[in-house]
Amino acid sequence: MPAIDIEISEVGPRDGLQSIRPIMSTTAKKDWISALAAAGIPEIEVGSFVPARVLPQLADTAELVAHASSIDGLAVAVLVPNLRGAQDALAVGPDKMTVPLSVSETHSLKNLRCTHAQVLQEVRDIRAAIDALPAGQRPKLEGSLSTAFGCTLEGEVPERKVMEMAEKLVAAGCDEVGLSDTTGFASPTQVRDYIRAIHRLLGRDKLTGVHLHNTRGQGFANVMAALDAGLTTIDASMGGIGGCPFAPGASGNIVTEDLVFLLESMGLRTGINFARLFAARQVLAGALPEVELYGFTPEAGLPKGFRPATAQ
Amino acid sequence: MPAIDIEISEVGPRDGLQSIRPIMSTTAKKDWISALAAAGIPEIEVGSFVPARVLPQLADTAELVAHASSIDGLAVAVLVPNLRGAQDALAVGPDKMTVPLSVSETHSLKNLRCTHAQVLQEVRDIRAAIDALPAGQRPKLEGSLSTAFGCTLEGEVPERKVMEMAEKLVAAGCDEVGLSDTTGFASPTQVRDYIRAIHRLLGRDKLTGVHLHNTRGQGFANVMAALDAGLTTIDASMGGIGGCPFAPGASGNIVTEDLVFLLESMGLRTGINFARLFAARQVLAGALPEVELYGFTPEAGLPKGFRPATAQ
């Protein structure tokens, strides 16, 4: 595998597919995951262990973990909302499990029907379940701080509340926390300040990744702030599917294809091959012809004479 | 007028309107310019002094300069390709005249049918025409370095060529140079490096503004780089009209509305009122119902509890 400066974590198969109405077939999902991995995407969040009646789009997550785990060198991530989901996940052995905690408790109650105390108890139980496994089989546990930069229900979310929850997630057993701009409220100043504050509070190894939205066009300005603060993993979604799209031409999630172009144009190696990345986009487009894909670079093409940092 | 940290130069009436087929009526343009000024936009490029047979969309530029000049506190900018255009401009007295010079000579020959030597001679002649005016009536003269970050015809444009042309433009009589990512090739690293290099070469007061495109989604990442390098003027276009749009949802120019949100969210005052800015967008939309307007913030709305840096 080529050397990588910035790791792109592709969340399309989970965050993207859960947000759209059409259900992609398991075969198509496997093809897409294989195409993403073939392009050099180092980590893919393949699904979520939630009840099928809640998210029928992701009912085949266990099968996708098995498929993705068979791909050499690919890190396989899943979302788990609670111990029950984590147990299902541990049965198939992903490399990483992410538990979301909404810093806005109003949002947490409304979305997950859980108080902070309840989520933290689930995290402790998940930690215990992981530690009961043999050392070589323990996935990494991440606590994702959603609505970290503001909430559509509460409005401003105080920075000290974000820090408090980050600390509690690590105390409850998370190996790492992640910052998530669930609502597209984040500014570059906030992104930079929060990352630095968490690094000071918990150590740099406790926060390496960020999940940014492009709701108000600010996605890549926030990526610049995250890079500036030293993060090395950026979530993105192929074709920008998922997140909370509002406008025509507006994607919720930042677009993987454009993010790869941005990073490579800055001399930062993603390990990704453009031709294969665009081929993976075709696989997605072919499987979901009714879903609009976003992204500027696939349409504009690479600049004449462009030299990516990653050897192609 | 409120204090301003970053000045937005609205290029829609020139760069936007010259790129679309429908011709906006002079009355509608005046209404739009008035609405932009009422929102607090400090500088507007209202048109270009080119022959009407080349750009019939901009044939009323002289009348627009007169209208815009009657608005208190508004800086009125125009594009002039040569001495002939500058003479027409000087007859109506704009605050700023911009002469484009394409750093890629291939592009210059193809687009303006001029060699670098010919453009520089026009700049010297324009300088002389300005200096023949009484001191209080002399507009600022800017040389805009187009295709500075790469060219669709030549590919890579060497940095030393950009520096050479910047130096020659100032020597020929420009008060300032501007950097323009005409082709949407620029990366944040390049933007930062080129700005710093020009500042070292010519002094910080010789480069204060930048014209960025969003062709590959990188527009606001490049804005961050420009801010980081200390620039204080950013060109943008309402609704993202103009530039070189490729894709659905892709604007060539960066979108004024989203840029104002980005800057204000970072605590940087633009002096702009959001409600009036969105009202100006409605004026534009009403005048050009067949043209698609881009921009995330007008659709998503401001975040709940959002506090702009500029008092509203």
Q: Which two tokens stand for residue A263?
A: 């990073």
Residue B247 has pLDDT above 60, yes or no: no
Nearest CA in chain B to A151: B304
Burial class (CB in 10 A: 0-12, 13-18, 19+), B291: middle
Query: B152 at the A interface (CB within 8 A)?
Result: yes
Q: Are A274 and A262 in contact (CB under 8 A)?
A: no
Q: Which residue has the tokens 């815009």?
A: B68
Query: A236 at the B interface (CB within 8 A)?
Result: no
Nearest CA in chain A to B214: A296
**B244 is a domain residue:** yes
pLDDT of residue A1: 54
Residue-wise pLDDT tens digits, B198-241: 999 999 999 999 999 999 999 999 999 999 999 999 999 999 99
Q: Which two tokens stand for residue A60?
A: 């085949």
Closest CA–CA distance from residue B22 to any residue of chain A (Å): 22
Contact criterion met (CB < 8 Å) for B248 and A246:
no
Residue B156 has pLDDT above 70, yes or no: yes
Reduce the DSSP state of residue B209 to 3 states and report it: strand
Burial class (CB in 10 A: 0-12, 13-18, 19+), A290: exposed
Nearest to B189 among A151, A214, A267 (CB): A267
Q: What is d(CA B263, CA A228) in angstroms, rounded to the nearest whole number? A: 17
Total structural domains within chain A = 1
Which of B296, B299, B306 to substitute to test the interface with A, most A CBs within 10 Å? B296
Q: What is d(CA A222, CA A213) in angstroms, rounded to the nearest whole number? A: 9
pLDDT of residue B21: 84
Residue-wise pLDDT tens digits, A71-107: 999 999 999 999 999 999 999 999 999 999 999 999 9
Nearest to A296 among B215, B223, B295 (CB): B215
Backbone phi and psi for residue A273, each to the nearest 5 degrees, phi listed first: -95, 125
> Which chain A residues are closer than 8 Å to B262 by Cβ?
187-188, 216-218, 221
Averaging pLDDT over each range in A62-66, B252-256, B297-301, which range is the top one?
A: A62-66
Q: Are B38 and B75 in contact (CB under 8 A)?
A: no
Q: What is d(CA A124, CA A135) in angstroms, rounded to the nearest whole number? A: 18
Q: What is d(CA B29, CA B67) in angstroms, rounded to the nearest whole number? A: 10
SS (H, E, C) A155-206: ECCCHHHHHHHHHHHHHCCCCEEEEECCCCCCCHHHHHHHHHHHHHHHCHHH
**B98 is a domain residue:** yes
Backbone phi and psi for residue A211, each to the nearest 5 degrees, phi listed first: -120, 110
Residues 52-81 of B with CB under 8 A from A: none
Nearest to B152 among A248, A294, A304 (CB): A304
Q: Are B20 and B294 in contact (CB under 8 A)?
A: no
Q: Are A174 and A99 in contact (CB under 8 A)?
A: yes
| Phi-psi domain of A71 (left: phi exceeds 0; alpha: psi -120 through 50; beta: other) | beta
pLDDT of residue A251: 57
Closest CA–CA distance from residue B219 to any residue of chain A (Å): 8
Residue-wise pLDDT tens digits, B196-208: 999 999 999 999 9
Contact criterion met (CB < 8 Å) for A155 and B248:
no
Q: Are A93 and A69 in contact (CB under 8 A)?
A: yes
Closest CA–CA distance from residue A156 to any residue of chain B (Å): 6
pLDDT of residue A247: 39
Residue B308: half-sphere exposure toward Cβ, Cα within 13 Å: 20
Q: Are A51 and A86 in contact (CB under 8 A)?
A: no
Q: What is the DSSP letter of B7?
A: E
Q: Which two tokens stand for residue A123?
A: 């995290």
Q: Which of A230, A233, A168, A232 is nearest to A195 (CA)?
A: A230
**B137 is a domain residue:** yes
Closest CA–CA distance from residue B307 to any residue of chain A (Å): 10
Catalytic residue among A114, A151, A174, A244, which?
A244
> Which chain A residues are closer than 8 Å to B296 by Cβ?
214-217, 246-247, 249-250
Residue A263: half-sphere exposure toward Cβ, Cα within 13 Å: 30
> Which chain A residues are closer than 8 Å to B192 by Cβ?
none
CB pairs under 8 A between A and B: 154
pLDDT of residue A249: 42
Residue B251 has pLDDT above 70, yes or no: no
Query: B220 at the A interface (CB within 8 A)?
Result: yes
Query: A188 at the B interface (CB within 8 A)?
Result: yes
- Tell me, what CATH number does A23's domain have? 3.20.20.70
The residue type of A251 is S
Q: Which two tokens stand for residue B156?
A: 């890579």
**A307 is a domain residue:** no
Residue-wise pLDDT tens digits, A227-285: 999 999 999 999 999 875 443 444 589 999 999 999 999 999 999 999 999 999 999 99
Q: How far is residue A168 CA from its own chain's centroid?
A: 21
Q: Which helix (H) or strand (E) holds B174?
A: none
Nearest CA in chain B to A152: B304
Residues 240-279 of B with CB under 8 A from A: 246-250, 255, 258, 261-262, 265-267
Q: Which of A145, A191, A200, A147 is nearest to A168 (CA)?
A: A145
Q: What is the DSSP letter of B14?
A: I
Which domain, by its residues, includes B17? 7-300
**A189 is a domain residue:** yes
Residue-wise pLDDT tens digits, B94-109: 999 999 999 999 999 9
Q: What average pLDDT does the structure give for chain B? A: 94
Closest CA–CA distance from residue B13 to any residue of chain A (Å): 22
Backbone phi and psi for residue A80, each to the nearest 5 degrees, phi listed first: -130, 125
Active site residue B244: yes
Residue A312 has pLDDT above 50, yes or no: yes
Nearest CA in chain B to A191: B266
Sign of torsion over alpha carbons A286, A292, A297, A301: positive
Residue-wise pLDDT tens digits, A9-62: 999 999 999 988 899 999 999 999 999 999 999 999 999 999 999 899 999 999
**B311 is a domain residue:** no
User: Could you give the C-alpha distances from B66 to B15, B35, B40, B73, B91, in angstroms and in order?
Assistant: 19, 16, 19, 14, 10
Q: Which of A223, A234, A226, A101 is nearest to A162 (CA)?
A: A101
pLDDT of residue A112: 80
**A45 is a domain residue:** yes
Q: Which residue has the tokens 């592709």?
A: A10
Query: B221 at the A interface (CB within 8 A)?
Result: yes
Backbone phi and psi for residue A76, each to the nearest 5 degrees, phi listed first: -105, 115
Which of A149, A278, A296 to substitute to test the interface with B, most B CBs within 10 Å? A296
pLDDT of residue A20: 86
Residue-wise pLDDT tens digits, A137-181: 999 999 999 999 999 888 999 999 999 999 999 999 999 999 999
Segment A110-125 shows an average pLDDT of 94
Nearest CA in chain B to A268: B189
Query: B224 at the A interface (CB within 8 A)?
Result: yes
Contact criterion met (CB < 8 Å) for B261 and A216:
yes
Segment B59-78 shows an average pLDDT of 98
pLDDT of residue A2: 60
The neighbour count for residue A268, using CB atoms within 10 Å, is 19
**A309 is a domain residue:** no
pLDDT of residue A3: 87
| Helices B256-265, B274-287: inter-axial angle, 10-degree rounding | 170
Q: Are B67 and B31 in contact (CB under 8 A)?
A: no
